[in-house]
Structures are given as C-alpha cells and as structure tokens.
Structure 1
Amino acid sequence: MIEYKNEVPDIKDYWPLYLSTGWNEVFKMDANSVERAIGNSSFAVSAYWQGELIGFARAVSDRVMYATIYDVMVLPEQRGRGIGSELVANITRQCKAAGVYSVHLFAADGTEPFYQRSGFQARPPSMPGMRYEAEEG
C-alpha cells in the first residue's frame, strides 16, 4: 500500500527520486541547493511504498490568493499506478483547505492531458503565461 505524507522528505530519500527525472541535467543543482528549494515549499506531499520515496509534489504559495505547483514526480518504474494523480489531488486539497483562491502549475511538454484529467486548463492565448530566468553571472 502506498503511504502519502504531507511533508518534505529528507534529502537522502529525495535526491534519487529527483535524479530519476533527468531535470538535473538542465539545472545542474547540488543536493544542498535542492534541499533548500524543497524546504521552502508551502505545501508538499511525499509518496512512499515499502519505506521508499517513490513520488513527490510541492507548491509554493502566498497562502491566500495564489499557489503554483512544481516538481510533480514519480519514479519511472512506479508510473501508471495513479500516484501522480493522487499527488496532484493532495496538493490541490491542501491549497483549497488553506483558502488559496487560484492554483497554477508548470507542465512539461506532453503532460497537458495528465493535468487536464485533474481539472487544470491551459491558459488561453489571450492570457499567456510567461517567465523570466536570470542569466548566470
């Protein structure tokens, strides 16, 4: 049985899950930086199976108006079991329980249908989402 805990996991458990996503090939973060990042989450949920961390999701929020979901991840060998859907449902429940008005997320290319099944809708072209990333240096 999968156990869900509304908490940020220990970095020693999280690091292998994070590396399994391949995201660090782009971000090139060290474990200490990743630990600080997830530690600053407003809401989090960790999925464990037989004591092993197999999934995680988090949101950053002002805890009133807005929250943004980041880092929904499930170990590749555990996908297809509904874990990701439960992680997203859990985070949105936590946001709703806190009274957060609007929940947003960043989706990887091709994952839109997954999030649509959880009730998320793409922003219309007249309301584009945008981002700014500071240059190194």
Structure 2
Amino acid sequence: MEIRVLQAEDAAAYRAIRIRAAETAPEAIHFEPEEIASLADEEIARQIQPSDIQRVLGAFAAGQLIGVAALRRDGRVKIRHRAMVQGVFTRPDHRGKGVARCLMQALLDEAAELPGLLSLELAVHAANAPAKALYQSFGFRRVGALPGAVMLDGRLLDEELMQRPLAFSSSASSVVPEGDDYVLVEATPDVAVYRRLRAESGLSPKTEEAARRGLAGTVFAVQALQNGNVVGMGRLIGDGGSFYQVVDIAVLPAHQGRGLGKRVMAAIRGYIDRELPLSAYVSLIADGEAKHLYAQFGFEPTARRSEGMALFKR
C-alpha cells in the first residue's frame, strides 16, 4: 500500500471513490452520488489540489485508489489555525487492513507541515462506533453534538463533534513504555466484554440484565485494547451534574503490571477535569492496594469524616 497526497491528475479516481463512499456510507457523506457525479472536472481537481489550506491523501494498492482522507481549513485570518478532517473512507473490499489508520497517521503528519495550524476537528455519525474509536485512538475527544445533522430517507441522524490539539499531549497516553502496543479508546464496552472483563479480572460478576442496564447509564468509559482485543476498562457513572463514581477499573491478569490501570485512570481524570462542573463530587471504592493508584489522581480517603456503606443485592 502506498499513501500520498493527491494531485489534480487524480481527479477521476477521486470522483469515483467519493461516489462509492456516498453509495455505501450515505449517513456519513453529505453529498448524494448524483451530486458528486455532476460536478465539473475542474471542481473535482480544485477539491484535491494541495495548498496551504488543504491536503487530500489517497491510499493506493496495485495502482488503485482504495482509501481517502482530507484535511481542509478556512483561509480567514481569525480561524485559519483550525482545520477539519473530512471524507475518511476505505473501500469495503479493503477494510480490516489498517488503511484508515494509516491514512489518519499520514494526515496528522501533513497537518504538522501546514503553517499556523493548531487544532484539528471533525464530525462523525453518532452511531459509527468503529470510526469514533479510530479517532479517539489518535487523540480526538468529543466536544459536542449536532442533533439531526443529516437527513437520510426521512430520518434525522445525529453527528458528534471531535477535536484534537495538533500539539497533542494526552493524559491517557502519558505513561507509555517503549514498544508498548496498547491503545486506549473512549468507548463503552458491550455487555459481553464488560461481563468477561469483570469476571476474569477478579471483580464481582454481573448478570446480563444488570450489565445492560448499567452500561446504558455510563457517563464516560475508556477501554484498553491490544491488537483489537479489549484487555482493560474503566467507567465513570453519575447523575450528570452533582454526583459521580469511578467504577469497573479492571485489567486482565495477563496484562497487569504494565501501567494500564494508571492510563485508564488518567483518561477518566482527564474527562473529570474537562467536562464535570465545579462542585461535582466524585467517589470510588478502593480495594486493597488500589488506593495508592487512586491517590495519584487526587482521590483522598473519606474516613474518618465519613464512613462508606453499601448494599449488595443477592
């Protein structure tokens, strides 16, 4: 696979893959296939001509364009420090081979070369969990939502807005040993993964119904992945305003001792700092020596001024 910046002479191939994207991912592409097909050749060439305000990258296999990703910014002085990531698409017959990940990395490398660029932004279909996980793994964080952003076949679809400083230093990635192959993504685990991680890491088991109901109320969650497999997790639950609790800090035994718990907690603490209102009360239950980990992130014992109490329904 070769990844390079597209030039005006790639216009025909770019038009074809954009039409394919509009046909196979209509919820993510704001154009109808017919609208793309009707554009003049000069307009398509203008959309991909590299300049200080745009770069369009293409992934090629055997000379065929199999994936694209674009970086565009407004030329106005007050907002030219921001750029939008747009049109990330891989042909269906080439998915699962890391094409989108390679395109995103190349796009970040190109962004670093654009003068004066400080921030990257994107909008993603709210129900597209794989895309959101990809962007999160590159440091993008959810900053808002656009309810009803797209009208598709009479249905209003939401989009989520994500942002990433170009000079990025993530608290969730602050402790990464050399050669580390773990990736943290901000996403709630599904019921099966959640129950497995709790059971295999030594936490109390949860019924399928309890897990399903509980996960639906997640405020924030992070998962640790190795080669696409979830090996750790942590969640923040709460009422959305005044009271929250850190729960489900779990790492599979084979992956313990590698700093994953610390990275999970760093991601949760980062969310607390960014999103929770002043006066919010965040609690947790520290089992055994885990109290030393939590203390690193500002958590203090409540005893003797208060005593924790609980009821476990059996």
Task: Report if the CA contact (8 A) 1:45-1:91 is conserved.
Answer: yes
User: 1:30 is matched by which residue type in structure 2?
Assistant: T
| Corresponding position of 1:3 | 183
Number of residue pairs matched by the alignment: 132
| Corresponding position of 2:203 | 23
Change (3 A) 1:36 1:135: closer
- Aligned-pair distance for 1:134? 6.4
Change (3 A) 1:124 1:16: closer
User: Mean Cα displacement is larger for which, 102-111 or 68-77?
Assistant: 102-111
| Corresponding position of 1:58 | 235
Residue number among 91, 94, 99 corresponding to 2:268 in the alignment: 91
Task: Report if the CA contact (8 A) 2:194-2:211 is conserved.
Answer: no
Superposition RMSD in Å: 2.0
Change (3 A) 1:130 1:54: same
1:105 matched to 2:284 = yes
- Which of the two has greater strand per residue? 2
Q: What percentage of aligned pairs have identical amino acids?
A: 24
Residue number among 278, 290, 305 corresponding to 1:126 in the alignment: 305
Change (3 A) 1:30 1:63: closer
Q: Distance in 2 between matches of 1:135 and 1:2?
A: 35
Task: Report if the CA contact (8 A) 2:244-2:281 is conserved.
Answer: yes
Structure 2 unmatched runs, 5+ = 1-180
Task: Report if the CA contact (8 A) 1:14-1:53 is conserved.
Answer: no
User: Could you give the per-residue CA deviations for residues 47-90 of structure 1, whole angstroms, max 9, x where no partner exists?
Assistant: 11111101110111222222110110001110111110111111
1:119 alignment partner, SS class? coil
Change (3 A) 1:134 1:22: closer
| Corresponding position of 1:37 | 214
Change (3 A) 1:124 1:74: same
1:115 matched to 2:294 = yes
**Structure with the greater alpha carbon radius of gyration:** 2
Task: Report if the CA contact (8 A) 1:64-1:98 is conserved.
Answer: no
Q: Distance in 2 between matches of 1:107 and 1:134?
A: 16
Q: Distance in 1 between matches of 2:302 and 2:260?
A: 25
Q: Distance in 1 between matches of 2:291 and 2:184?
A: 24
User: Mean Cα displacement is larger for which, 85-94 or 118-127?
Assistant: 118-127
1:64 alignment partner, SS class? coil
User: Could you give the per-residue CA deviations for residues 5-49 of structure 1, whole angstroms, max 9, x where no partner exists?
Assistant: 11112233333212112334xx5x323432322232111111111
Residue number among 214, 225, 229 corresponding to 1:48 in the alignment: 225
**TM-score, normalising length: structure 2:** 0.39
Structure 1 unmatched runs, 5+ = none
Change (3 A) 1:8 1:36: same
Higher RCO (CA-CA < 8 Å; seq separation 6+): 1
